[in-house]
A = this chain, B = another copy of it.
Amino acid sequence: MNILNPKTKCLSGQREGSADCRHCAIRQHSLFAGLDISKFELLLKPIRQYCFPTNKLVFAQHIPATNVYVVRKGLIKLEETLPDGTQRIVRLIPPGGVAGLETVLDHAQRYDYSAITLRATELCQIPYAVLRQIQVEESGFAEVLMQFWHKQLLAAEQVIVDFSTGTVRERIVKILLSLAALAEQENAQSMYLPSVRDLAALSGVTRESASRVVAELKRLNLLSKAGVNQVQYDMEGLTSLIHCEEKQ
């Protein structure tokens, strides 16, 4: 919930310093929206900001849950490892979203899933005690927290309805459209293309199947490489693929 100092280097999971929520660009869109920050200045001191590279573990499933994380920039996955060793992603958390909300519950002291960055990601780490105290002092904060619970639910439901239903091509295209929408929000020139492994884990198919679809989309010029894990995309072309399939 603060501005990343561009002079600070972004090392592996390194602490960037304590948060400056007053000047956070994303604040009004996230957990502390509507909060009178000056009133809580002291309370917010324990908040730390981190900067993770791609594929770093933010917290592991089953370990004691002590912090909620706000995604300021980047993208996180919440996933579970299945008995056969493959992963299943249960939801993605875009900028403005939170991970580890189970921390705020009295009786769920462990994280339900592992949280891992999909790309370079800036996070704010908010200790349990801070949220608890804000709840005490701000009667409206419980309402805000529930909005975030709701967001989590909607994200999980999207995984079910959009990403885990239909043919492999439909699923992958819907994932890409969803990520393209994120890119548009940031006015980015290109969009983030997850690894084949993550596309597979998010859609519940094999890596090979996911790879074939991505290759096909590139062949159709609906995607074209624009850097490491970055692609340019043809929004209309991708969208039309889904509509064709729905007509079946």
Contact = CB atoms under 8 A, between A and B. Distances in A.
A153 interface: yes
Given A80-B161, A246-B84, A105 B156 contact: no
Interface of A: 80, 82-84, 88, 90, 101-102, 104-108, 112-113, 135, 142-143, 145-147, 149-150, 152-154, 156-157, 159-161, 164-165, 204, 246, 248
B161 A82 contact: yes
A157 B112 contact: yes
Contacts of A159: 160
A82 B146 contact: no
B147 A107 contact: yes
Nearest to A164: B164
A146 B147 contact: no
28 contacts: A90-B157, A90-B160, A90-B161, A102-B150, A105-B143, A105-B146, A105-B147, A106-B143, A106-B147, A107-B147, A108-B150, A112-B154, A142-B146, A146-B149, A149-B149, A149-B150, A149-B152, A149-B153, A152-B153, A153-B153, A153-B156, A156-B157, A156-B160, A160-B160, A164-B164, A164-B165, A164-B204, A165-B204
Contacts of A150: 101-102, 105, 108, 149
Contacts of A102: 150
Nearest to A102: B150
A88 B143 contact: no
A183 to B, nearest CB: 24
Given A149-B152, A160-B160, A165-B204, 5 more contacts: A84-B248, A90-B160, A108-B150, A112-B154, A142-B142
Contact of A165 (B88, B106, B113, B157): B88
Contacts of A147: 105-107
A103 to B, nearest CB: 11
B160 A88 contact: yes
B157 A82 contact: no
A173 to B, nearest CB: 14
A83 B161 CA distance: 11
A218 to B, nearest CB: 26
A112 B157 CA distance: 10
Contacts of A165: 82, 88, 164, 204
